[in-house]
Amino acid sequence: MLKFIPGILLLQVITIALVLIAPADLGNWGWLRLAIPVLIAGFLTAFWFGSIAAYQRKDEISRLKEYHAKERETIRVNAERTKSKLIKQAQRKTIQEVRRSAMRANIKILLVLAGSIGLGGLLLLTQYMSLGLLTLSTVGGALGGYILRNRQEKGKLNLLHKSQETECIIKATPSKTK
């Protein structure tokens, strides 16, 4: 706003000077000697104000573009953070559900195996040796397989938690042939 004050004051000074310099007799076409210089000064001042306004508009637009670019970038960063946080939460919930279901299955299987061991022991005590030994060996094999599978699943879960980088087994560099 203050940038326009010098132009307004200059236009007023030019107009006052032209009015004071103008002849006293403005009859017939004498008023043109006053009006044409005043119009020229007015047009020049208007173009000057137009260039000042265009510069201010460009400056404001570039400032707004920078502001919006920064705001857009902060929105993107926040969205990425939120997205990664949600993904981690979903992974944690999934892992918790897997562990819960595995624990329930473990308890059920262990109860079945304990019952089978008890049955095998009972068969041994009641003199059904071959059937008791068969039951106990079957339960032992099932328990061994179950323990092996459980260890493999825990190993898979550990691999999911660690971000392992693959290492080269053979460190060889290509040789140039002549």
pLDDT in tens, 77-125: 999 999 999 999 999 999 899 888 888 888 888 888 888 888 777 877 7
DSSP state of 126: T
**What is the domain range of residue 48?**
2-22+30-146
Whether 154 is in a domain gets the answer: no
Q: In whole angstroms, give the CA distance from residue 152 to residue 94.
A: 18
Please report how the helices 129-161 and 30-125 are oriented relative to each other, as an axis angle in degrees rounded to 10: 160
Whether 173 is in a domain gets the answer: no
Tell me what the mean pLDDT of segment 121-132 comes to.
78
Whether 161 is in a domain gets the answer: no
Query: For the chain, what is the domain count?
Result: 1
**142: Cβ–Cβ under 8 A, 6 or more apart, which residues?**
113, 116
Tell me what the mean pLDDT of segment 68-85 comes to.
94
Q: In whole angstroms, give the CA distance from residue 122 to residue 116.
A: 10
φ/ψ bin of 171: left (φ > 0), alpha (ψ from -120 to 50), beta (otherwise): beta
Whether 110 is in a domain gets the answer: yes
Whether 175 is in a domain gets the answer: no
Q: What is the pTM of this model?
A: 0.45
Whether 40 is in a domain gets the answer: yes
Instruction: Identify the band that residue 128 occupies on the pLDDT scale cut at 50, 70 and 90.
Output: confident
Q: Name the strand (E) or helix (H) holding 34.
A: helix 30-125
